[in-house]
Amino acid sequence: MIAVFHLNAGSSGVEERMLREAVAGSRALTWAATPAHADVFVLTGPITAGIRPALLTLWRDYIAERAPLVALGRTSIDGHPFGRSGVTDIPELHVAVKIDGDPPTITAIQAGITQAFQVRSARH
C-alpha cells in the first residue's frame, strides 16, 4: 500500500474530494497518519502567502529527501486562475508528478500517485 499524505495549500475543495475518492477507490492507496508515515505527499491548492512558510518547513523536514511530492490540479501547479502561487513559483520544491486538470480525474490521480511512488522506489 502507498501511504498518501494530503497537503492543502488553500484550495477550493474540489481537488480534495477527487483525492478522497481516488484513495477510497484504490486497493493500492491508503492514508498516512502523519507526514512521517507518508510514502507520497499530494499538494492541492495555490500556495498562499500564509501557508508558504509552513509548506517549505514541511518540505525541508519531511519531504525533500524521502518522499515524492505530487501537485494535484491546476491551482497547485501554476496558481490558475489566480495567475501565480503554484509550485512553479517556488524553485525549491521538486515535484515528482504534476497532475493537471480542473479537477483531474480519479484515474489520473491514482496513476500520478503510483507513478511518483514508483519513481522514488527506483531511486532508492
SS3 45: coil
pLDDT confidence band for 124 (50 / 70 / 90): low
CA quadruple 43, 36, 39, 51: dihedral, nearest 10: 10
Where do the structural domains in the chain lie, given as residue ranges?
Answer: 1-57
Helix or strand run (H / E) with residue 30 = strand 29-31
pTM: 0.91
Q: What is the pLDDT of residue 42?
A: 96
3-class SS letters over 3-56? EEEEEECCCCCHHHHHHHHHHHCCCCEEECCCHHHCCEEEEECCCCCCCHHHHH
